[in-house]
Chains A and B, each alone.
Chain A
Amino acid sequence: MIETVLNAIIPGDSKLKMPPASQLDFNNYKIKHGIEKIEIDFLLELTKISNDEFFKNFIDLDDSQKIKALNLCKLKKVRIFSAFLKNIFRFYYSDKRVLSLINVGSSPPFPDGNKIDDDDDDWVLLIPVYERGPIFRELDDE
């Protein structure tokens, strides 16, 4: 079921060449960060909502029903939902492949760092500020 849930939350996007979350190693993340209970609590709740509201298991819902079920879970059990979703984002957006695809810049260990272009006219921008003159309060005793 977890693969179906991962794909419902973060499916792939062929246009942007982004992989679905299910293609990445969630199991490894889960063990490394000890979130088994968070996952189980969430899946139990999602299963209950799917059965109560749609009379089906989550994996048998169509795409729009899956999103509806997830949103219902957010409404009914916000803590359980938030804890799980935060971990899905942490898992997905710390993956090396994903980071290279979203133009995050140089990746750790950052051998070259990131370049931010300096323009010669950066400080020309300060001319209006400079022309206004001092704005701090002068004191008589200094």
Chain B
Amino acid sequence: MNDVADIIIIGSGASGAAAAWSLSRDKSLRIVCFEQGSLSNSSDYPTKSEDWELSRSDKSSFDPNIRKNLADYPIDDSNSPISIANFNGFGGSTILYSAHFPRFHPSDFRVKTLDNIADDWPLNYSELNPFFDENEKKMGVAGLVGDTAYPEYNSLLPPVPLGDMGKKLAKAFNEMNWHWWPSYAAINTDKRNNRANCINLGPCNVGCSQGAKGSVDVTYWPLARLNGVEVYTESRVYEITLDKKGLANGVLYFDKNGDQCEFKAKIVIVACSGIGTPRLLLNSKSEAFPEGLLNDNGLVGKNLMLHPLAYVEGVFDEDLKSSIGPHGCCILSQEFYETRGENDFSRGYTMQILRGTPPIETATTGYFMRQLSIGKDHHQDFKKIFNHTAGIAIISEDLPELHNRVELDYENKDLFGLPGVKIHYELSNNTKNILSHGIKMSKEIFSSAGARVTSSFAPVKNSGWHLMGTARMGSNPKTSVVNKFGQAHQVKNIFIVDSSVFVTSGAVNPVATAQAITLFACDYIRKNISNISNPL
């Protein structure tokens, strides 16, 4: 087949998949997606076996430096208090995510105007609203309409069940007169779209063997492939190429056999995450962009935001069967989401209630947190904590700072000799104050619920899932990499559609917003395709 596409999409994760589906509705287009990882097969997920928990420290680890799949590249995060979490494979990090799926809020797009910090986004909540709706339908999002922390949602699948632990904490939030709401979860709570419903297996984070979790391999991709999108897995793009006119004209990649290949395209869409996207751009050096593609203003890789987390765990006297159910989805509170004058920080945080830990994690953390002994009392101690615990993850709003950044690491290379990445990241004082406040408030909630707090700490080391800001959007080409449609200021037929383009981070899991932005960008591409495309 002729190696020329109308559109190349790099990356098959949350945003790459949404882009593939959105654009493939025009069936006259040849669309090719390149994914450096391999296909995921749900029948191979570790939840088929009793020892599934072991895989979390092995092949299903979310730490690429532990997992060391062929598709992974070295990430040196020794200069960061938070390590990077991701998954390189068909479906991207949605294969291992917990599917907690809240949207950004209207204020998240206007932090400069409202709070005089960071920058406003060049788009707003209203513009994204129809794309939020569309995305939630495609991903199958459960929840409850009427949340007082948001403008109205149109419709959602029935919420995931709270369980005894969720109800207990909900009552505690009520006692404090604080906001709480059932989680927004990309989890099929009813059979829908040829996918089974959730049966509360629990370990969503090693891949959902039931197919109820809305990872994009089971939501967008079947539709996109039905529309004719071609997917090249185990094919690692290492450079986006430009022609003499300064337009992108394709990509260079290593195929399954390790051979260097070229694929031409009229439009190139980048969706490799807040780490993978700057890595590819910085590696795409040319005469026009000697410091890396689109990096004429030095902003590619800068302003990395990671949503530092704090964690507080409480133990209840009673057995609440808390380990049963989708681990990351139960209830959330956004009582402290917005800026308040009385606080010593700007912006705020979400409290995400996590269900109890599974047996191995209960025993291990229980021992090292001095809640569980070895020897004759071991089983009695275990019985007192297993199914008795709940966690509160405090997701802080991270603000953009130039010194927090991703750089190429030429000392640590991947299998094909391509540079890995080095992360430089520091917590700001604002973030530290947010996390301290979140811990204090979480302790108050557990106290109100009658639980003992057994551990609390920040930042959580292994929590760098939310990778944002490294190719930010904006109206001014001097202070941003792409415009509101994800279109590169300097090369009009390159689009970046993942969370790299975020101007600020909000204080919620970013997938819902990243995908809405992708659909918004692709809507623009479809309407303007003849003006955007390189005629080649």
Q: Which A residues lie at the B interface, using CB under 8 A?
A: 8-11, 13, 16, 18, 33, 63, 66-67, 70, 82, 85-86, 89-90, 92-96, 98-99, 102-110, 112-119, 122-123, 125-126, 128-130, 132-139, 141-142
Is B118 interfacial (CB 8 A cutoff)? no
In this complex, the interface size class of chain B, counting residues with CB under 8 Å from chain A, is 35 or more
CA distance A79 to B149 in the complex (A): 46
CA distance A10 to B380 in the complex (A): 11
Is B195 interfacial (CB 8 A cutoff)? no
Instruction: Return A131 CB to nearest CB of chain B, in Å.
Output: 9
A89–B379 touching, CB < 8 Å:
no
The contact string, 1 if C-beta is below 8 Å from chain A, for chain B 99-118, is 00000011100100010000
Q: Which B residues lie at the A interface, using CB under 8 A?
A: 47-54, 105-107, 110, 114, 124-126, 144, 146, 148-151, 161-163, 167, 170-171, 173-174, 177, 179-181, 198-202, 209-210, 319, 321, 323-325, 334-335, 337-338, 358-360, 362-364, 367-368, 374-376, 378-380, 382-383, 386-387
4 shortest A-B CB distances, which residue pairs? Answer: A113-B199, A94-B51, A93-B359, A13-B379
A110–B124 touching, CB < 8 Å:
no
A136–B162 touching, CB < 8 Å:
no
Please name all residues of chain B whose beta carbon is closer than 8 Å to the beta carbon of A138 when the two chains form the complex: 106
Please name all residues of chain A whose beta carbon is closer than 8 Å to the beta carbon of B170 when the two chains form the complex: 125-126
CA distance A139 to B375 in the complex (A): 60
**Of A86, A89, A130, A138, which is in contact with the most chain B CB atoms at under 10 Å from its CB?**
A89
B325–A114 touching, CB < 8 Å:
yes
Taking A13-B378, A66-B375 as given, write out 13 further A-B residue pairs in contact, using a Cβ cutoff of 8 Å, ordered by the A residue number: A94-B50, A94-B360, A102-B382, A104-B358, A104-B359, A106-B201, A108-B49, A109-B48, A109-B49, A116-B163, A128-B177, A129-B148, A136-B107
CA distance A86 to B360 in the complex (A): 8
Known A-B contacts A129-B148, A135-B334; the reply to A113 vs B378 at CB < 8 A is: no
A108–B48 touching, CB < 8 Å:
yes
Please name all residues of chain B whose beta carbon is closer than 8 Å to the beta carbon of A117 when the two chains form the complex: 161
Instruction: Return B331 CB to nearest CB of chain A, in Å.
Output: 10
Instruction: Return B504 CB to nearest CB of chain A, in Å.
Output: 14
A-B contact count (CB 8 A): 172
A137–B201 touching, CB < 8 Å:
no
CA distance A123 to B143 in the complex (A): 12
Least CB separation from A116: chain B residue: B161
Please name all residues of chain A whose beta carbon is closer than 8 Å to the beta carbon of B375 when the two chains form the complex: 8-9, 11, 63, 66-67
B360–A89 touching, CB < 8 Å:
yes
B50–A114 touching, CB < 8 Å:
no
Least CB separation from B161: chain A residue: A116
A114–B202 touching, CB < 8 Å:
yes
A11–B376 touching, CB < 8 Å:
yes
Known A-B contacts A110-B47, A122-B167; the reply to A105 vs B148 at CB < 8 A is: no
Please name all residues of chain A whose beta carbon is closer than 8 Å to the beta carbon of B151 when the two chains form the complex: 136
CA distance A110 to B47 in the complex (A): 8
**Of B54, B146, B386, which is in contact with the most chain A CB atoms at under 10 Å from its CB?**
B54
Instruction: Return A76 CB to nearest CB of chain B, in Å.
Output: 16
Can you list 26 A-B contacts with CB-CB less than 8 angstroms, sorted by A residue number?
A9-B374, A11-B378, A85-B367, A89-B364, A94-B51, A104-B323, A105-B200, A105-B321, A108-B47, A110-B201, A110-B209, A116-B161, A116-B163, A116-B200, A116-B325, A117-B161, A122-B162, A125-B167, A126-B170, A128-B174, A129-B181, A135-B338, A136-B150, A137-B338, A139-B114, A142-B124
